[in-house]
Amino acid sequence: MKKIILTRRWPAEVEQALATHYECEFNEKDEPFSQSRLQQALVNADALLTTVTDRLDATTLGVADTRAKIIANFGVGYSHIDTDAARDAGIAVTNTPDVLSDCTADLALTLLLMAARRASEGERELRAGLWSGWRPTHLMGTKVSGKTLGIIGFGRIGRAMAHKAHHGFGMDIVVYNRSTVADNALNTVNARQLTSIEQLLTCADFVSLHCPGGQENTHLLNAERIAMMKPQSYLINTARGEVIDESALIDALASQRIAGAGLDVFNNEPDIDQRFLALDNAVLLPHLGSATVETRQDMGLRVLSNLNQYFSGQQPDDQVC
């Protein structure tokens, strides 16, 4: 029986399913693996089951006498894995696309609505016992229906976000994507594909990020680009923290050069920049994009399917390298 090591605790139903097929080593304390522990797992197991909290760089993957032949990642993003180094080490890498698209888009829309309607501010005021009652000018936010939503990255999650925003709130959709988007994907939400991020930023009331992380997109939203956003606009991020220059965003929020932001991901999670905590116009969530029972179970079962395919001699459906 092949041995697999999980770097974090997974839903109980998933762990039980894995245990019926493999010799499993679970992370009983559910604490992030150190680099040395990741290297030890690569040496001692046939497969390493990772999450976004695991940094598998070239040094980690370069450990001698690696036994593991597959890294099966729990999540769609894999910028935390050096895929070139994995390929050089003869290790396949898989992810879990599709199954988390709707729930991540739901969460992005939640952030958009919370930021626009100042929901976090209102809840904090009420819980602190500071609400003095209804009044005409109290916590006035921004209308969402009919506004323009700019989506950067029009993959599965971006398309799910567009569908919910257009058909649910009548939002106009504009899109920036590195490759040309098929007409049928645009037409279902009456979207327009723009030729540059700058063009999108200058016309959107809400900007939602759904692009991959990694070195290529690090600080894709830098100070210069954030300055192009409308003063009354909002920035939503459920992609990866490194996509935004956080210092530039904090400056823009503190000076109210943009109206607000809704963030589910950050650089250096969970050690986020403490300056965010002082900003009333920032909605902050602890990386909850796929955090529903149904989605997390489906993600784990997708990993199991990838493992089964790999160890039966097939190429996994979700192999990325």
Q: Return the active site residues.
A: 240, 269, 287
The one-character DSSP state at 283 is E
Q: Is the peptide bond before 270 cis (omega within 30 degrees of 0)?
A: yes
DSSP code of residue 215? G
Is 96 within 8 Å of 302 (Cβ atoms)? Answer: yes
Q: Are strands 234-237 and 260-263 parallel, antiparallel or unpaired?
A: parallel
Q: Is 86 helix (H, G, I), strand (E, B) or coil?
A: helix
Angle between helices 293-311 and 101-116 (to 10 degrees): 150
For residue 192 the two structure tokens come to 């327009």
Task: Tell me how far apart the alpha carbons of residues 314 and 137 are, in angstroms, rounded to a whole number.
Answer: 62
